[in-house]
DNA sequence: GTATTCTATGCAAACGATTGCATAACGCTA
DNA sequence: TAGCGTTATGCAATCGTTTGCATAGAATAC
């Protein structure tokens, strides 16, 4: 990195003023402290020299770096790119940059990532992988670092978050299956340490109860991770019970894809033999075999609102934390179908 | 951001030494300048206090921020997340962070993004959206900023890049179609300002010439962008010619998806009526209707090597630039089929 | 014991930008 | 013109870290 860029001293030298005057002119909040004629002259010279403030330097002094750490569990999970893009664009509009960290599945690594970001004096953090009980989130709050969670919440309610109405989403999917005539419904959920996994599971049980449908607990499995392979394994486990079922409601789209894979292995067809629903409406699920019926959440809105909440928190640290709950909707595609006569008579003994 | 973190002065005070001594101990390259006993004491205290170096401060002094700018055109294009993840992981292993910028389709915005990164003294840039003639790349090189291009190259050969052997990839796809008996082959390419668009187009023409196949130039269209909608529009334009064809070779997977959409609109089936090939093997193409035959490139390897090349360039700025060319391979799935008798007889007059 | 050489540590300045305080300059009034 | 009040600008220190130079202290040789 060559020293080829103009700095404040260069501008000051050419304008024949002190660097502090240049600084005051370049900051709109202090510009009125300088005479208008001189301010104009300084602004012109700064532009001629292509001067750009160095946020490293100013951040050292002001403790504001215009930097936000964005920690996600897996950028290749199609749910996250739209979120990240929306976050990055919203931050950029306000002069902030996003430092991206993909934590993978290792929590220890995430601790290091966050420490790294703290050392760099990030102005705040957007976290997409918090656990319901999350020491990392706790410690950031304790240190006064603004934090916003995306699509997750923690049990400590003083943390800002943008989430979806998971209860409504699961209920929409459940009612859809009921309306199609399904009664023997399996559930494949996600890890219970995540609020989405926990809330969607409880919502499933409640929807069933409210619909007066008796759920066979052997048909309810919470997978270790929200992945295709975990979904596949969970369905295989359900298949081994030999129980009757005609539909599977899953806690996210990747789990549903895993169910598709398992059905392929068993020479079964969705939705002919088993109807399947997902959650998230991640990109491209409309192109799958079959196109996935799923609960749509607005990924972009998640990102935009997360960035907005965080910027507010940065500007006004003492303001109370907010939870924004977005409303999902059901998108019916080809993975769910009316319970047919053959299914109703013998069920689908998947063994 | 509260001032709650230990700094070098805190460590020095507790150790009873000067801050410069602490600095020397904490840098492995200068540790031997301090006595072993004192070094051990300082390291222990630094750990007790949870000290972390602040790269903003050290970067100001040393002009090394351990920060890399990563500029991509669209994080929601499934080709990029695996690349970004690989980049981010490789950088993280060496103590660098990735500043992510998603430029969208606006070149002006990209100029601002890069200027923003320069102001923050990034140690280098990884660019995934360079044009063949690219003033932004030129200016970075002129300023001595290390740059590595991903999946793109520029005509100025002194720029480091990780690319794929596009000629081989296109030839593999072309030969595959020839082997299946296709002779009336359309081509939908990408923007010619991108090296991938240009090189794949020329490779298509050359493969046809070498195979002794006469290509109808009305069946060759280079789209404005590498998007589904551009691919769809391009195929619609080809359909309007009323020319016979039995296969479409596209320059990337998104264009191929656009062709799928256009075929749906025309009540035609792939591969029954038209075989289609893509390029990149982006995630999930194996789940589409039909599963896409495509040229596989290793996205993760692109990212890993880009990060590696850049780190080398940062460490050794005067070393000659390198181009790394990765070998693609064909993945045959369900979007291509043998030319059938009915097709061969009447061709597919798509009008 | 004294002089010389080597080693370990401290000092001060640098990096780029900001800001509280001091004061020079300007404007107004008697 | 002198005195007072206000405004505009400069000064110096800060932020956290690094590093060339100076020198105190230790070790060695005579």
pLDDT digit string, tens, across residues A59-115: 999 999 999 999 999 999 999 999 999 999 999 999 999 999 998 866 557 888 999
Same structural domain for residues A36 and A128?
A: no
Return positions of chain D under 7 A from a protein CB.
Answer: 7-12, 14-20
Same domain for A251 and A306, yes or no, is no
Same domain flag for B192 and B281: yes
Question: Cβ B288–A287 below 8 Å, yes or no?
Answer: yes
B92 in the same domain as B229 = no
Is residue A326 less than 8 Å (CB to CB) from chain B?
no
Q: Which nucleotides of C are covered by protein (CB under 7 A)?
A: 7-12, 14-20
Q: Is the pLDDT of residue A3 over 50?
A: no
Mean pLDDT, chain A, whole residue set: 92
A260 CB-near residues (< 8 Å, 6+ apart): A270, A276, A288, A289, B287
pLDDT at A2: 43
Tell me which chain B residues have a C-beta less than 8 angstroms from the C-beta of A102.
84-85, 88-89
Chain A and chain B share a number of CB contacts under 8 A equal to 153
Is A210 inside any structural domain?
A: yes
Q: Which of residues 36-75 of A touch strand D (CB under 7 A)?
A: 38, 57, 60-61
Domain membership of residue A1 (yes or no) is: no
| Of B136 and A186, more confident | A186
Please check whether strand C approaches the CB of A30 to within 7 Å. Answer: yes
Could you tell me if B81 and B145 lie in one domain? yes
C-alpha distance from B207 to closest chain A C-alpha (Å):
31
A121-158 pLDDT, tens digit each: 999 999 998 899 998 899 898 888 999 999 999 987 78
Nearest nucleotide from residue B61 CA, by C1' atom: C15
For A97, the closest of B99, B143, B288 (CB atoms) is B99
B323 touches strand D (CB under 7 A): no
> In this model, does residue B318 exceed pLDDT 50?
yes
Q: Is residue B151 located within the same domain as residue B140?
A: yes
Q: Are A89 and A299 in contact (CB under 8 A)?
A: no
Among A148-152, A228-232, B105-109, B181-185, which stretch is predicted with the lowest mean pLDDT?
A: B105-109
| Six token digits for residue A39 | 């301010």
Q: Is residue A351 part of a domain?
A: no
Q: What is the band of B3 on the pLDDT scale with cuts at 50, 70, 90?
A: very low
Report the candidate in A280, A307, A278 with the shortest Cα–Cα distance to residue A79. A280
Where residue B105 falls among pLDDT bands split at 50, 70, 90? Answer: low
Q: Cα–Cα distance between B56 and B36 in angstroms, integer?
A: 29
**B73 close to A (CB below 8 A):** no
pLDDT band at residue A340 using 50, 70 and 90 as cut-offs: confident
- Using the structure, give the distance in angstroms from the CA atom of A16 to the C1' atom of D20, rounded to a whole number: 32
Mean pLDDT, chain B, integer: 92
Q: Is the CB of B81 under 7 A from strand D?
A: no
Contact B84 A75 (CB under 8 A): yes
Interface test with A, best of B6, B46, B56, B77 (most A CBs within 10 A): B56
* Of the partner residues A57, A92, A116, the one whose CB lies closest to the CB of residue B97: A116
Q: What is the CATH number of the domain that holds A73?
A: 3.40.50.2300
A289 touches strand C (CB under 7 A): no
Q: What integer pLDDT is reported at residue B207 of this predicted model? A: 97
**Is there a single domain that holds both residue A160 and residue A220?**
no
Residues A341 and A222 in one domain: yes
Q: Does residue A257 have a pLDDT over 80?
A: yes
Query: For residue B2, is it within any domain?
Result: no
Number of domains in chain A: 3
Structure tokens at B144: 């001595």
Nearest CA in chain A to B290: A289
CATH number of the domain where residue B15 is located: 1.10.260.40
Q: Looking at the domain assignment, is residue B351 inside a domain?
A: no
Look at A148-152, B312-316, B337-341 and tell me which has the smallest mean pLDDT: B337-341
Interface probe with A: pick from B72, B84, B97, B335, most Cβ of A within 10 Å: B97
Residue for token pair 């060759």: B220
Contact A1 B63 (CB under 8 A): yes
User: Is nucleic acid strand D under 7 Å from B343's C-beta?
Assistant: no
Residue A49 forms part of a structural domain:
yes
Instruction: Name the residue in chain A with its Cα closest to that of B257.
Output: A287
Percent of chain B with pLDDT over 70: 95
pLDDT digits (tens, 9 = 90+) for B278-302: 999 999 999 999 999 999 999 999 9
C1’ C17 / CA A56, Å: 9
Do residue A139 and residue A271 come from a single domain?
A: no
What ipTM was assigned to the predicted interfaces of this complex?
0.91
Question: Within this chain, do residues B159 and B170 fall inside the same structural domain, yes or no?
Answer: no
A305-308 contacts at long range (C-beta below 8 A, 24 or more positions apart): A305/A162, A306/A83, A306/A87, A306/A126, A306/A148, A306/A149, A306/A150, A306/A162, A307/A68, A307/A86, A307/A87, A307/A90, A307/A91, A307/A126, A308/A90
How long is the CA B22 to C1' D30 vector, in angstroms?
38
A230-241 confidence digits (pLDDT tens):
999 999 999 999
Say if residue B273's pLDDT is above 60.
yes
Same domain membership, residue B340 and residue B204: yes
Q: Are residues B83 and B134 in the same domain?
A: yes
Instruction: Examine residue A60 and state whether it is found in any structural domain, yes or no.
Output: no
**Contact between B118 and A82 using a beta-carbon 8 Å cutoff:** no
On the question of pLDDT at B129 being above 90, the answer is no
A350: pLDDT strictly greater than 70: no
Touching check for B257 and chain A: CB below 8 Å? yes
pLDDT for res B1:
39
Residues of chain B contacting residue A106, judged by C-beta atoms under 8 Å apart: none
Residue of B56, B74, B89 lying closest to A102 (CB–CB): B89
Containing domain of residue B275, as a range? 166-292+333-346
pLDDT of residue A203: 97
B 94-113: CB under 8 A from A: 97-102, 104, 113
| B3 inside domain | no
Q: CA-to-C1' distance for B156 and D14, Å?
A: 46
Residue the block writes with tokens 């695996």: B82
Mean pLDDT to the nearest integer, A261-278: 95
Least confident of B46-60, B127-141, B320-334: B127-141
- Statement: residue A344 has pLDDT above 80: no
Q: Report the distance from CA of residue A29 to the C1' of nucleotide D11 in Å, as an integer.
A: 21
């Amino acid at each position: 990195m060559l020293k080829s860029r103009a700095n404040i001293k260069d501008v000051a030298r050419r304008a024949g003023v002190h660097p502090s005057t240049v600084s005051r002119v370049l900051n709109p909040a202090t510009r009125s402290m300088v005479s208008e004629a001189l301010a104009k002259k300084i602004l012109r010279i700064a532009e001629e020299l292509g001067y750009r403030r160095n946020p490293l330097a100013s951040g050292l002094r002001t403790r504001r770096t215009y930097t936000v750490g964005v920690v996600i569990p897996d950028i290749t999970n199609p749910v996250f790119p739209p979120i990240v893009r929306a976050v990055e664009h919203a931050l950029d509009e306000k002069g902030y940059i996003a430092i991206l960290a993909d934590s993978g599945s290792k929590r220890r690594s995430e601790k290091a990532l966050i420490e790294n970001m703290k050392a760099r004096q990030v102005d705040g953090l957007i976290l997409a992988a918090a656990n319901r009980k999350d020491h990392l989130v706790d410690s950031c709050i304790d240190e006064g670092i603004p934090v916003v969670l995306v699509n997750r919440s923690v049990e400590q309610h003083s943390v800002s978050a943008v989430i979806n109405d998971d209860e409504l989403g699961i209920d929409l999917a459940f009612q859809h299956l009921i309306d199609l005539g399904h009664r023997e419904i399996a559930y494949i959920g996600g890890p219970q340490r995540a609020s989405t996994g926990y809330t969607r599971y409880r919502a499933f049980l409640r929807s069933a109860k409210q619909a007066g449908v008796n759920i066979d607990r052997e048909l309810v499995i919470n997978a270790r991770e929200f992945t295709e392979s975990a979904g596949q394994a969970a369905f295989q486990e359900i298949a081994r019970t030999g129980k009757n079922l005609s539909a599977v409601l899953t806690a996210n789209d990747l789990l549903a894809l895993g169910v598709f894979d398992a059905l392929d292995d068993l020479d079964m067809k969705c939705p002919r033999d088993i109807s399947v629903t997902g959650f998230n409406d991640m990109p491209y699920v409309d192109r799958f075999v079959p196109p996935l019926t799923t609960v749509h959440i607005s990924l972009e809105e998640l990102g935009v609102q997360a960035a907005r909440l965080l910027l507010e928190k940065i500007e006004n640290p003492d303001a109370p934390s907010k939870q924004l709950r977005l409303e999902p909707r059901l998108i019916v595609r080809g993975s769910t179908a009316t319970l047919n006569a053959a299914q109703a008579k013998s069920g689908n003994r998947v063994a």
